[in-house]
């Protein structure tokens, strides 16, 4: 390896300003040889003869309960009418089963929140931890207005869209008066 010196003795002495690639190529070749040798060793696996068993895997799928609530507040437990006062006893018996079933609530969008809150509160007090809601996805991700589908037809066959509730217009803020210039 030739390096230039700082003293300028003679006409042929000058500093070399090029990178010497030979040491870098040597290092790369050494790494390549190491990887060629070690790669087959890392892919080596040990052969084990596992015992063959004819048992089937247990598919324990938890039961689900559908609780429907119509706009009038009537409850339906798996499509059968049920009173709201009977729910705590039913929820207690469900909470004691293993695995715990999933309670799926399907409520109409016009159902009173009070009814829905009573049902969910009774389920939580009984110890049910798997509570979900069933919804119908809207095409295109746009929510329907007044119970109608995005095409303007009622969401349920034979249903008439409810008239929009008259909401008072929000009070407009008084216009800002410009401050007097000094």
The answer as to whether 32 is a domain residue is no
DSSP string across 62-126:
PPEEEEEE-TT--EEETTEEE-GGGHHHHHHHHHTSSSPPEEEEEE-TTS-HHHHHHHHHHHHHH
- Domain interval for residue 69: 64-133
CATH of the domain at 69: 3.30.420.270
Q: For the chain, what is the domain count?
A: 1
The answer as to whether 122 is a domain residue is yes
What's the pTM?
A: 0.44
pLDDT digits (tens, 9 = 90+) for 106-164: 988 888 888 888 888 988 998 888 888 888 877 765 555 555 444 444 444 444 444 34
pLDDT digits (tens, 9 = 90+) for 15-73: 778 888 999 999 999 999 999 988 887 776 677 777 777 777 666 676 888 889 888 88
């Amino acid at each position: 390896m030739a390096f230039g010196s700082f003293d300028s003795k003679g006409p042929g002495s000058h500093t070399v300003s090029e990178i010497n690639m030979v040491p870098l190529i040597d290092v790369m070749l050494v790494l390549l040889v190491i990887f060629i040798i070690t790669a087959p060793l890392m892919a080596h696996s040990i052969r084990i003869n596992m015992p063959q068993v004819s048992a089937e895997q247990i598919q324990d799928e938890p039961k689900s309960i559908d609780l429907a609530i119509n706009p009038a507040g009537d409850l339906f437990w798996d499509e059968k009418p049920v009173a709201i006062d009977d729910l705590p006893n039913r929820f207690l018996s469900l909470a004691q089963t293993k695995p715990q079933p999933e309670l799926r609530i399907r409520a109409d969008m016009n159902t009173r929140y009070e009814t829905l809150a009573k049902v969910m509160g009774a389920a939580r007090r009984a110890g049910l931890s798997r509570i979900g809601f069933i919804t119908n996805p809207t095409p295109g991700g746009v929510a329907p207005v007044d119970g109608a589908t995005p095409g303007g037809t009622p969401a349920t066959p034979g249903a008439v869209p409810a008239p929009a509730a008259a909401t008072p217009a929000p009070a407009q803020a008084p216009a800002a008066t410009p401050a007097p210039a000094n």
